[in-house]
């Protein structure tokens, strides 16, 4: 029996898919190379913008064909779109056998049984399933052997007015520190070198537990023997304080990289988004980060065309991008999400103008990204070798999360090696191993 999982969306969904693969593996399933050979197809969906919504429906249309050759094949839909609109999807695509929400994943074995017996297996509950932590006991099945995600907090307590996530993932729930450390220990024993702590809002870790803070968790993870690198995503600017920044600077394994979404540069728009900081406050945190960690690589998310955004507001975003000099910027056009407060606001700008702003912003960033990467030429950096492409071609990442292509020898997979960068491109670096 074979399974195939198609994942849309963010790190949370990637991790959930890895857990579902773990569950299916426990049940005796093998991964299928091609969805056409699968007995179970799972589509793990995202609903953060309208585009991913549409992509899900077209993927489902494609996967439907699996039933031609294999009428017993099961098609399941889960993730954030399923949580938000599972019944609608079922109506639009009645050939689906299973639909379940973001906190019901641990019930996959039961749901699969139900679907196999010919019934529709549906489990979408509005409140958080208290049993969701059962998922923690399953191992993840990862593509990358040496770096692994570990969920530390689920849900989000912020209420950014444009965002669907609080509705699809619920309130913040931090995982107990002992359980996180146990998972880290297990991963390290399995050969993992880099631990990537994830959540929609990792910097809020521990607030609901009351007795532990995010920076304390960083120290605890670093103390697990064998952890060579630590990353975390996503940090919210509001919760990023000096004690976290100090810990980042102090702990040798914490990588010099941070994704810190600003969303917009204009205070008027930031306030309409309810982000809880001004441009000045955000830039102060960036300044602090650069002071404590001078070679830090920064990245961000931007929304262009939020309701009420004028050209002057947009120019404030451009100003921030030029000032911070991010290594990478992920920019999106605003997309109204049903049920969010911003969905009721009037869109003031014409979509063509917004598209123009978006492409202008991306072009500005292209030059900055290249400039940042060019600074690496001639430098020696530590690379974790993550992939062997054959013919001696290896791919790895720097601590600053830059992709590095290099020519190496065998047996370097999973090793941290020193590499001299010979060439910088916009999205990657090329280097040579230092003996
Ligand atoms: N928790 C993270 C973001 C999660 S969503 C944070 O607070 O930064 C990932 C990104 O999608 C966001 O940073 C935002 O830039 C984008 N996004 C979210 N909702 C959106 C919407 N309605 N329209 C366009 N982009 C959106
Ligand atoms: Fe969405 Fe804001 Fe929560 Fe991020 S912090 S997930 S943007 S509500
Ligand atoms: Fe998408 Fe859900 Fe993540 S909406 S961005 S998959 S939390």
Can you say how many angstroms the Cα of residue 62 is from the centroid of all Cα atoms in its chain?
Answer: 25
- Probe residue for ligand 2, chosen from 11, 46, 201 as the CB with the greatest number of ligand atoms within 8 Å: 201
Record the tokens describing residue 345, joined without a space: 């606001």
Ligand 3 mean position, distance from CA 227 (Å): 28
pLDDT tens, position by position, 147-179: 999 999 999 999 999 999 999 999 999 999 999
Reported as a single tens digit per residue, the pLDDT across 263-299 is: 999 999 999 999 999 999 999 999 999 999 999 999 9
**Spatial distance between the Cα atoms of 372 and 370, rounded to a whole number of angstroms:** 5
Cis peptide before 234 (omega within 30 of 0): yes
Domain 380-433 has CATH 2.40.50.140: yes
> What's the per-residue H, E or C state across 172-191?
CEECCHHHHHHHHHHHHHCC
Give mean pLDDT, residues 383-411. 91
Residue 221's closest CA among 248, 199, 246?
248
User: Mean pLDDT of all residues in the chain?
Assistant: 95
The residues, any chain, with a CB within 8 Å of residue 337's CB and separated by 6 or more, are 47, 48, 49, 50, 162, 163, 164, 343
d(CA 8, CA 50): 12
Q: Where are the domains of the chain?
A: 2-127, 131-373, 380-433
Atom of ligand 2 nearest to the CA of 200: 6
| Phi and psi torsions of 237, nearest 5° | -55, -35
Q: Indicate the SS3 state at residue 264.
A: coil
CA angle 131, 134, 137 (to 5 degrees): 170
Q: How confident is the model at residue 254 (pLDDT cuts 50, 70, 90)?
A: very high
Contact between residue 293 and residue 284 where contact means Cβ atoms under 8 Å apart: no
Predicted TM-score of the model (pTM): 0.96
Pocket perturbation via mutation, ligand 1, pick of 152, 261, 263 by most ligand atoms within 8 A of CB: 261
- Residue 293 neighbours by CB under 8 Å, 6+ apart: 245, 248, 249, 256
- In this structure, the dihedral spanned by the alpha carbons of residues 83, 89, 93 and 98, taken in order and rounded to 10 degrees, is 20
pLDDT grade, residue 19 (50/70/90)? very high
Confidence of residue 391 (pLDDT cuts 50, 70, 90): confident
- Give 338's pLDDT tier (boundaries 50, 70, 90): very high
Q: How confident is the model at residue 347 (pLDDT cuts 50, 70, 90)?
A: confident
- DSSP 8-state code for residue 322: H
| Residue 374 reports pLDDT greater than 90 | yes
pLDDT tops 90 at residue 392 = no
- C-alpha 61 to ligand 3 mean position (Å): 21
For 72-96, how does the pLDDT look when each residue is reduced to its tens digit (9 = 90+)?
A: 999 999 999 999 999 999 998 999 9
Question: What homologous superfamily does CATH list for 131-373?
Answer: tm_1862 like domain (3.80.30.20)
Phi, psi of 305 (to 5 degrees): 85, 25
Record: fold of 2-127: Rossmann fold (3.40.50)
Whose CA is closest to atom 8 on ligand 1? 261
More confident: 392 or 361: 361
pLDDT tens, 133-146? 899 889 899 989 99
Average pLDDT over residues 191-204: 97
pLDDT, tens digit, 9 for 90 and up, residues 223-250? 999 999 999 999 999 999 999 999 999 9
Grade residue 26 by pLDDT with cuts at 50, 70 and 90: very high
Q: Which residue, among 305, 287, 304, has the nearest Cα to 296 in the 3D structure? A: 287
Helix axes of 177-189 and 214-222: crossing angle, nearest 10 degrees: 30
Distance 261 CA to ligand 2 centre (A): 10
Q: How far is CA 401 from CA 180, 198, 297, 398, in A?
A: 23, 16, 8, 5
Could you tell me the distance, in angstroms and rounded to a whole number, from the CA of residue 143 to the centre of ligand 2?
27
Alpha-carbon torsion 257, 259, 265, 270, what sign? negative
Pocket of ligand 1 (CB under 6 A): 48-49, 162-163, 165, 200-201, 234, 236, 261, 263, 301, 303, 332, 334-335, 337
pLDDT in tens, 91-129: 989 999 999 999 999 999 999 999 999 999 999 988 898
Q: Quick one: how far is CA 221 from the chain centroid?
A: 20
Only one residue has tokens 């697990």, namely 224
Query: Which residue among 10, 163, 164 is best mutated to probe the pocket of ligand 2, counting the most ligand atoms within 8 A of its Cβ?
Result: 163
The yes-or-no verdict on residue 52 having pLDDT over 80 is no
């Amino acid at each position: 029996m074979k399974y195939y999982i198609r994942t849309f969306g963010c790190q949370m969904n990637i991790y959930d898919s890895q857990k579902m693969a773990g569950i299916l593996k426990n049940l005796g399933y093998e991964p299928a190379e091609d969805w056409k050979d699968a007995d179970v197809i799972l589509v793990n969906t995202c609903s953060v913008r309208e585009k991913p919504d549409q992509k899900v429906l077209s993927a489902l249309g494609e996967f439907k064909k699996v039933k031609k050759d294999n009428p017993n094949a099961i098609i399941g839909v889960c993730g954030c779109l399923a949580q938000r609109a599972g019944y609608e999807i079922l109506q639009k695509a009645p050939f689906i056998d299973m639909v379940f929400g973001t906190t019901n994943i641990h019930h996959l074995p039961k749901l699969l049984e139900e679907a196999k017996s010919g019934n529709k297996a549906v489990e979408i509950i509005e409140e958080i399933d208290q049993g969701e932590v059962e998922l923690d006991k399953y191992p993840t099945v990862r593509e990358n052997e040496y770096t692994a995600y570990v969920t530390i907090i689920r849900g989000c307590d912020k209420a950014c007015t444009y965002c669907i996530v609080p509705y699809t993932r619920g309130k913040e729930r931090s995982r107990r520190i002992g359980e996180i450390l146990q998972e880290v220990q297990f991963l390290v024993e399995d050969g993992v070198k880099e631990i990537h702590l994830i959540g929609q809002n990792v910097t809020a870790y521990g607030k609901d537990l009351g007795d532990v803070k995010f920076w304390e968790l960083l120290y605890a993870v670093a103390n697990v023997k064998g952890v060579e690198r630590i990353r975390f995503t996503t940090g919210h600017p509001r919760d990023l304080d000096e004690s976290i920044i100090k810990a980042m600077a102090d702990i040798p394994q914490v990588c010099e990289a941070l994704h810190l979404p600003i969303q917009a540069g204009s205070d008027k728009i930031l306030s309409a988004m309810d982000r809880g900081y001004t441009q000045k406050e955000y830039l102060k945190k960036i300044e602090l980060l650069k002071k404590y960690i001078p070679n830090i690589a920064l990245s961000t998310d931007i929304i262009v065309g939020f309701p009420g955004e004028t050209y002057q507001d947009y120019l404030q975003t451009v100003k921030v991008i030029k000032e911070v000099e991010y290594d990478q910027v992920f920019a999106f056009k605003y997309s109204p999400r049903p049920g969010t407060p911003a969905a009721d606001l009037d869109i003031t700008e014409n979509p063509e103008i917004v598209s123009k702003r978006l492409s202008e912003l991306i072009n500005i960033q292209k030059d900055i990204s290249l400039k940042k990467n060019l600074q690496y030429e001639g430098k020696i950096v530590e690379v974790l070798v993550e992939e062997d492409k054959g013919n001696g071609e290896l791919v790895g990442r720097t601590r600053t999360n830059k992709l590095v292509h290099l020519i190496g020898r065998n047996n370097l997979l999973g090793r941290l090696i020193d590499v001299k960068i010979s060439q910088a491109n916009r999205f990657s670096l090329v280097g040579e191993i230092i003996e």
